[in-house]
Amino acid sequence: MSSLEQNPIICEICGARIETTASGDLGCMACLLRVGLGEAANHAAVAPDAVLDSLGPYVIVRREDGTLWELGRGAMGVTYRAQDNSLQRQVALKIIKTDLAGRSAEARERFIREARAAAALRHPNVATVYQFGIDEESGQCFYAMELVEGETLDERVRRTGPLDVRAVIEIARQITAALAEAAKRGLVHRDLKPANVMLATAADDSPEMAVKVIDFGVAKALTAAPDRRELTHGGFIGTPAFASPEQFTDAPVDVRSDIYSLGATLWYVLSGHLPFGDRAGARPPPIEQLKAAHVPARLISLLVSMLAIEPAARPGVQDLAAKLEAMQKRSPQRRLLAAAGILVFASAAAYFWHWFPAAPSPGAPAPEKSIAVLPFENLSDDKENSYFAAGVQDEILTDLARIADLKVISRTSVLGYAPNTNRDLREIGRALDVAYVLEGSVQPRGGQVRVSIQLLDTRTNTQVWAESYDRDLADVFAVQSDVALQITSELQVTLSPREKSAIRENPTQDVVAFDLYARARTLRLTATFGAQFKDRFLQTVELLNEAVARDPSFFQAWCELAAVQDLLYSAGYDHTPARLALAENAVQTALRLHPEAGLAQLTLARHLYQGHRDYDRARIALQIARQTLPNNAEALALIGY
């Protein structure tokens, strides 16, 4: 493969890949097409011949051939080397596209407001902005910033190919420091990419790498009112290939959007590839690209978390800084010592923390947005329907556990709180460290079902909300979704469109298949190792096989079946290639049905760990799973293992 194919050239204006030949690049076909369609005025950068020789005290420097000394161009405009005649220093002068700034008083006011916020940012890893201005005669917006001698990160990759891991971690650490300082001031870059990161030339031949983030001048101040008409909120600003998913919607952005862009930038610098092509997509990133570049699994996991579709699933800027610093300090010798010292402890601790939740700090109040879904009471005369009640409870809990803005206690942690009239809610709240509990009862009768729900505040022992649903048995799934959505409303929980869509999705249309699945899941989660373990799990396999036979598209049942097959194999009850093949078939079926689902990735991670002892790939799959399963206790326990 040629070096041009390994290191694709990306259009600075639209983010599309530029086709290359042996004689050079052909230019951006997407931009050329827009020009041909008469859209050049909206998308092309400012033409050099349209730029004045001087703006305020700044005179653009010319090269020996008389042309303007252009430093770079992008979606926002063109940057030139210029001379500041007032202070007798050279600067980088950014000429903003006229169509962005406009000529109206409102546009000028917005520009100056944002400019003042950006100019206040001072940090060693940010190119300092000296002045913003608008030329009164031409209406041309511009700003002058620190001239950084060196090359952009994009130029370095195109010149030398992908960078080594140690250098990339250092670059990431310095960029993160810049983002942390910007976040303190409510600033978001919104166009972080390799072309906006400078590797400064050391004046004293120092081996230390100096990184400068440029173009913070187009950042949006988050302190502005979230009005759709404001530039701080509406409208896409940035380069599609490196922009976060929320930048293509009407959602407000914060530093987590820049963390996504940083993740895409580091991915490109390490592999020479873009993780999602020309624009982010709702699919797992192709980690094979990083593996081919021999990127350590720990760094791959971090990058995957930075590229999470949901902003809440990405690491915070302080957390990211701490992880990068830990990676930088962690030598091979220290890794071996650490692994030898904590391996047994970590495995044991993970098991006990999973089954016995840690007690909250004395006197610390429970998080306001926290809930435990207690076991539901079966009011049917047929005690066999207790499995169905457990299934309804489990589905509501599963729906709530998908929400990043809500703390949800796992099912295994609430199993001991069986329905009775003597439950002390205050004591339960203190033990589980939750502000609310959800109680319920289920009463199937013939083709009908009654589901009664009440949401209770554990701190005051008062009822917050209650409802009873009388529906056809086939409508029980809609009831589960309605309950979950009502709880989010009562607790004022922020729901992303993706989370809301997942809650609305029914597990199956077959009530009998759901009952079989509920029985099997209860058997697995309440099983203990011992003489009856194998027989109980073989019974679970039979129930799940019957469930997927009734509904071959029952995704959750396939995931549960894979979990049970893997347990039978890894625990030694049936450690045969045939059992492993059955587990593999269930895993692949789940991935085929919903490849992007967090539960599918958790199922894959469990299979890689228990079936193949492939820890690196299991850890990466877990990182992907955690993006949409923030409260899943099994994922947390498996991370510990």
- pLDDT tier for residue 223 given thresholds of 50, 70 and 90: very low
Q: Is the pLDDT of residue 212 over 50?
A: yes
- The arithmetic mean of pLDDT across residues 22-51, rounded, is 43
Write down the catalytic residue from 53, 84, 99, 191.
191
One-character DSSP codes across 579-611: HHHHHHHHHHHHHHH-TT-HHHHHHHHHHHHHH
Residue 73 DSSP one-character state: E
Partnered with residue 83 across adjacent β-strands are 59, 90
pLDDT digits 0-9 by tens, 402-417: 898 999 998 878 877 8
Three-class DSSP category at 256: helix
Region of poorest pLDDT, from 182-191, 351-360, 531-540: 351-360
Three-class DSSP category at 462: strand
The number of C-alpha atoms within 13 Å of 244 and in the hemisphere containing its C-beta is 31
- The arithmetic mean of pLDDT across residues 373-377, rounded, is 91
Three-class DSSP category at 441: strand
In whole angstroms, give the CA distance from residue 27 to residue 389: 63
The torsion of the CA quartet 406, 409, 411, 417, rounded to 10 degrees, works out to -130
Partnered with residue 267 across adjacent β-strands are none
Q: Is the pLDDT of residue 591 over 80?
A: yes
Q: What is the pLDDT of residue 550?
A: 95
Region of poorest pLDDT, from 4-8, 163-167, 351-355, 619-623: 351-355
Of the chain, the end-to-end C-alpha distance in Å amounts to 40
Q: Are 180 and 262 within 8 A, CB to CB?
A: no
Closest CA to 69 of 140, 139, 149, 138: 149
Partnered with residue 220 across adjacent β-strands are 188
Q: Residue 491 carries which side chain, given as an amino acid letter?
A: L
Length of the chain: 641
Residue with more model confidence, 548 or 444: 548
* pTM of the predicted protein model: 0.57
- The arithmetic mean of pLDDT across residues 585-611, rounded, is 93
Q: Is the pLDDT of residue 176 over 50?
A: yes
- The arithmetic mean of pLDDT across residues 517-542, rounded, is 83
In whole angstroms, give the CA distance from residue 239 to residue 16: 9
In whole angstroms, give the CA distance from residue 372 to residue 410: 8
Q: What is the pLDDT of residue 239?
A: 74
Active site residue 278: no
Q: Are 606 and 635 within 8 A, CB to CB?
A: no
Query: Helix crossing, 633-640 with 332-355: angle to 10°?
Result: 140
Q: Is the pLDDT of residue 356 over 50?
A: no
In whole angstroms, give the CA distance from residue 168 to residue 259: 15
- Mean pLDDT score across all residues of the chain: 79
Q: Is the pLDDT of residue 229 over 50?
A: no
Residue 62 DSSP one-character state: B
Residue 630 DSSP one-character state: T
In whole angstroms, give the CA distance from residue 118 to residue 147: 17
Q: Is the pLDDT of residue 604 over 70?
A: yes
Residue with more model confidence, 563 or 54: 563
Residue with more model confidence, 626 or 29: 626
In whole angstroms, give the CA distance from residue 455 to residue 432: 16
Top mean pLDDT of 21-30, 78-87, 195-204, 325-334 is at: 78-87
Three-class DSSP category at 469: strand
Residues of the chain above pLDDT 70, percent: 75
The number of C-alpha atoms within 13 Å of 428 and in the hemisphere containing its C-beta is 28
The number of C-alpha atoms within 13 Å of 64 and in the hemisphere containing its C-beta is 0
Q: Are 412 and 375 within 8 A, CB to CB?
A: no
In whole angstroms, give the CA distance from residue 7 to residue 159: 9
Residue 248 DSSP one-character state: G
Three-class DSSP category at 387: helix
- pLDDT tier for residue 310 given thresholds of 50, 70 and 90: confident
**Distance (Å) of CA 244 to CA 214, 255, 306:** 19, 11, 10
Identify the residue whose tokens are 């469990």: 606
Residue 556 burial (C-beta neighbours within 10 Å; 0-12, 13-18, 19+): buried
Closest CA to 374 of 387, 359, 389, 355: 389
Residues of the chain above pLDDT 90, percent: 34
